[in-house]
Chain A
Amino acid sequence: MALTLQTFSTVKDANAALMAEGTRYLGGGTLAVRAANEGDVSVSSLVRVTETSLSAIAVSGGDARLGASVTMAAIARHPELAALAPAARAVGGPAIRNMATVGGNLFAPAPYGDFTVALLALDAIVATEDSEVPIQTFLAGRDTSRAIVTGVTFVLPRAESFRFLKVSRVKPKGVSVLSIATLLERTADGTVTSARIALGCMADRPMRARAAEKALLGCKLTAEEIALALAAAGEGTSPITDPVASAWYRNEVLPVHLGRLLLA
């Protein structure tokens, strides 16, 4: 295996090294090393950074910052990130969660990226050394972005306003048929005043269900009132087809699972 590893103590130096042809950043390696094991020779050099701030979790005043090297296991056991634990626990088995990072998940192609679906519903900000962009902008441009992601920030959701669901065939782990995260604000009588819905596996990367979000406004979470939103859930999707499910199947079951999540 013709692969070399370069280790840097600062993001700045590592970013400079990543400009070279055939280099790629190494997070937890669950996808990057796997690709090398599978014979992907397009990458000849992996770059990693030992800066400790990349592994830091900071929660203060309702805001959270996760360094890009924070693992799914670290999120799942963090007492102040309980709302996000279900999304972190949805990624792989225990060993994968000890390795899989937030940064790597942001780049993971469908059917992966379950945690990123949660971050998309939270409208997280993705930071690099010299930029901060909304996650949607980041996701749209991730194929061509070379800069190391240093972390994500977001407003911590109240437990009752945030919901996450991963649907898989193999229990308790297994890749997604689809995943859904919702962030809903409601008035005292239960009327939805704002809605963000993020979907995984319904395109090559996590996407927002804008039409369903719009249709939910002013609704109460009853089967009758959410029907229009469910009917609109598939608008703009182009799901992947893989051994787990076809695009057709994913589109068929999306409204069913979104309905269950909203009525739960």
Chain B
Amino acid sequence: MAKVPVQFTLNGAEKAEFVDSGTTLLHALRDKIGDTSPKGGCHQGTCGACSVIIDGELRLSCLTLAETCNGAEIRTTSGLAEAGVLHPLQRAFLDAFATQCGFCTPGMIMAAKVLLDHTPNPSREEVVEALSGNICRCTGYEPIIQAVLRAARANSQNAA
């Protein structure tokens, strides 16, 4: 099958790969580039485990063809920690016991990150809405909602 070039930045670093035409971004990230933080849960758009941020917007990498991302700026959960220090959202997920098996966590964190980027002090309803495309089979959601609210509080305290 014809290979096509794809080129984008991933968490700030330039990436270039040849992939089969029609390859999903999820597949390209995990199996070609080696960023396994986006997870393949359903490949149908329903679970949100594959969520990534493309040019500032939350997207599902399982339904995005890699070729359509040429020139894009892609962010995943693996790029959040800086110099070994966890991002406030990651810290809050740990502290609030918002992660059990962890499969949904990178997608949840991506969804939460775009929310907090635009709405630093969200209401509980806004958090629920922002996470509504992400399924968790372990936690019952409440700890995840609390973690996002906790991260928002931590951010605003740091800013103060």
A contact set with B: CB distance below 8 Å? 1-5, 7, 26, 28-30, 33-34, 36-38, 46, 48, 73, 92-96, 98-99, 172-173
Considering the chains assembled together, what is the distance between the CA atoms of A159 and B2 in angstroms? 51
Chain B contact residues: helix, strand, loop or mixed: mixed
- Chain B nearest Cβ from A11, distance in angstroms: 17
Residue of B nearest to A73 (CB): B57
Q: Which residues of A contact B76 (CB under 8 A)?
A: none
Q: Are A5 and B21 in contact (CB under 8 A)?
A: yes
Considering the chains assembled together, what is the distance between the CA atoms of A73 and B23 in angstroms? 25
7 chain-A/chain-B pairs, Cβ below 8 angstroms: A3-B21, A4-B22, A28-B63, A33-B64, A37-B63, A38-B44, A95-B58
Q: Are B133 and A5 in contact (CB under 8 A)?
A: no
Q: Which residues of B contact A37 (CB under 8 A)?
A: 24, 43-44, 62-63
- Identify B128's interface contact among A2, A26, A30, A172, CB under 8 A: A172
Considering the chains assembled together, what is the distance between the CA atoms of A28 and B65 in angstroms? 10
Q: Which residues of A contact B21 (CB under 8 A)?
A: 3-5
Q: Are A34 and B63 in contact (CB under 8 A)?
A: yes
Considering the chains assembled together, what is the distance between the CA atoms of A238 and B82 in angstroms? 56
Question: Is residue B111 within 8 Å, beta carbon to beta carbon, of the partner chain?
Answer: yes
Near A by CB (< 8 A), chain B positions 1-32 give: 1-2, 4, 20-24
- Chain B nearest Cβ from A34, distance in angstroms: 5
Considering the chains assembled together, what is the distance between the CA atoms of A33 and B148 in angstroms? 31
- Identify A34's interface contact among B2, B4, B20, B45, CB under 8 A: B45
Q: Which residues of B contact A96 (CB under 8 A)?
A: 45, 60, 133
Q: Are A94 and B22 in contact (CB under 8 A)?
A: no
Q: Are B60 and A95 in contact (CB under 8 A)?
A: yes
- Chain B nearest Cβ from A43, distance in angstroms: 10
- Given known pairs A37-B43, A38-B44, the reply for A93 and B132 (CB within 8 Å) is yes
For the complex of A and B, the 8 pairs showing the least CB-CB separation, nearest first, are A93-B133, A3-B22, A4-B21, A37-B43, A173-B132, A33-B63, A95-B58, A93-B132
- Identify B58's interface contact among A2, A7, A36, A94, CB under 8 A: A94
- Identify A1's interface contact among B2, B23, B58, B59, CB under 8 A: B23
Q: Which residues of A contact B67 (CB under 8 A)?
A: 5, 7
Q: Are B59 and A99 in contact (CB under 8 A)?
A: yes
Residue of B nearest to A33 (CB): B63
